[in-house]
Chains A and B, each alone.
Chain A
Amino acid sequence: MSNVEGILQYSHVDICYNRIPAVCDVSFTLEKGEILGIVGESGSGKSTLIRAAMGLLGPNGLVTGGNIWYQGINLPDLSVRAFNRINGTHLAMIFQNAGSSFCPIRTVGSQLLEAVRAHERIGKSQFRARAVKLLNKIGFEDPQRVLDSYPFELSGGMNQRVGIAAAMLMRPEILLADEPTSALDASVQKQVVEEMLLLRRLFHTSMILVSHNIGVVRAVADKVLVMCKGTAVEYGPAKQVLEQPAQDYTRTLIAAVPVLRRS
């Protein structure tokens, strides 16, 4: 059933909150090592779409139609327990505000250890070495200090990068990024974007980047999906969608933001 070439495939997905449709009939395929950008105005169902893949729709959300295929598994059919097994190891997520995705009263290190221990048996020192190695690799200067810090002691950009490191700790195949740069100022945004590109070079991770910031999407995405009011209005290679948009909606969306050049 599953697509051979695509690593993650959405086919005709409908999602409802409290029986009210939020996403309607969306299909796309994510290839290995590809970065897909999903753009659209706020409330268009972008975040909902990727949260569905990890069972994070919350109390009232439900995938009511269509399938999300990953390695021959239909993700919406999984139980909470099964999600616990693949979340973090196969699929990982970065949040808009990574700092608040950590419990404020525990150190970053202890929470990363908890995340790793959810999937494998590992000693404290072993974990420590691995975490330090990863943090070094993605450019942290003082990994030890970061691990011993509480989230509120780190800056917003630092937290975001820790969030990325936390997501990459288990070497997931797919990284889902939910507005990873929206809460940051411009210079830090650039740093985070570069880090994501670095990840793809290092680990060949496939990524879905949800953002209302067309500039960021233009800078990293290979393909773009444009969402409007819960439906996909346009889907195709980034260059084509962003430079010769076929839909009026896309055109207005692009016109609404300042232009950034690809570096």
Chain B
Amino acid sequence: MNGPAHRMRRLHKNGVRTRLTVFCILALALIACSLFSEHLCPYDPYAQDLENALAAPSATHVLGTDRYGRDMLSRVLIGSRTSIASTLSLVGIIMVFGTAIGVLCGWNGKRLDSLVMRISDMFLAFPGLVFALAVAGILGGGLHNAIFALAAISWPKYARIARNQTLALKEATFIKAARLSGSTGTEIICRHILPNIAGPVLVTGMLDIGTMMMELAGLSYLGLGAKPPAAEWGSMMSDARSLLQTVPWVTFAPGVAIFISVMVFNLFGDAVRDYLDPKAGER
């Protein structure tokens, strides 16, 4: 019965591959949007036009204007640079940093391992956002500090995954064989361990993008992330919240932008997971 079962798996994989392609294109489109946002903006996102303030959405201003008469569409587009780029760099940082620590701990074991794992236990036993608030509060506002705060609470998850995978791999026969044939630790880590743990780490990272984007926007909303007048979705919403009753689009446009981006990245993350780990996808 190998044949039919194999065929089914391929069928499943084909479906997932289509999904992966579609969401990958969408995610890339979002990233492209953020990279080339200044060329896409119909107006200068920082140009004030007080005569035309708080204009309702129309043909000239598709998403209306804010209280300084700045074009909302342009601001949402330019905001994507801050929001998407900073989220991606945040996830990139914690992925690399967390994995490096995890692999080192798993490979070296002993004291370093138990010390770092105790520390990561501590971070995991801590309500994450509370800590991020504190870090952002101490360092003061600003996008970089917000990224640092979120990175500080998120690395242990990756370190955990990388460590456990490394520990398991260390005992695998092919690693032992590589060791016997005289490969050095660094060689084995680069050639065998990293490629093997890339999958789970990548999946976790992809699934984290959405959450991180929301938390970053949340910190900005509280005034602990990007500061106005810089266009960032969270701070734009916070800026406009007093206008909620009269001109809701100024608040909702960036909100919808966050919603769409988070959804696209979540769907993309799901697709990556299903592609790399078909068993988890059944649920």
Contact = CB atoms under 8 A, between A and B. Distances in A.
B1 interface: yes
Contacts of A45: 1
Nearest to A60: B8
A99 to B, nearest CB: 24
Most chain B CB atoms below 10 A, which of A20, A21, A43: A20
B215 to A, nearest CB: 37
Interface of B: 1, 4-5, 7-8
Contacts of A43: 1
A88 to B, nearest CB: 29
A18 B7 CA distance: 11
A22 B7 CA distance: 14
A22 B5 CA distance: 10
A230 B3 CA distance: 13
A171 interface: no
A21 B7 CA distance: 12
Contacts of A51: none
Interface residues of A, number: 8
Contacts of A229: 1
Interface string A128-146: 0000000000000000000
Contacts of B8: 18, 20
Nearest to A18: B8
Contacts of A22: 1
Contacts of B4: 20-21
Contacts of A18: 8
A22 B8 CA distance: 13
A260 B53 CA distance: 93
Nearest to A48: B1
Interface in A44-75: 45
Nearest to A229: B1
7 contacts: A20-B1, A20-B5, A21-B4, A22-B1, A43-B1, A229-B1, A230-B1
Given A20-B1, A43-B1, 10 more contacts: A18-B8, A20-B4, A20-B5, A20-B7, A20-B8, A21-B4, A22-B1, A45-B1, A229-B1, A230-B1
Interface in A13-55: 18, 20-22, 43, 45
A178 B200 CA distance: 36
Contacts of A21: 4
A20 B6 CA distance: 11
A230 B2 CA distance: 12
The 7 A-B pairs of least Cβ separation, nearest first, read: A20-B4, A43-B1, A18-B8, A22-B1, A20-B8, A230-B1, A229-B1
B283 to A, nearest CB: 13
B121 to A, nearest CB: 28
Contacts of A20: 1, 4-5, 7-8
Nearest to B4: A20
B13 to A, nearest CB: 15
A20 B7 CA distance: 10
A229 B2 CA distance: 10
A230 B8 CA distance: 17
A75 B233 CA distance: 62
Nearest to A45: B1
Contacts of B7: 20
A173 B51 CA distance: 90
Interface in A78-110: none
Nearest to B11: A18
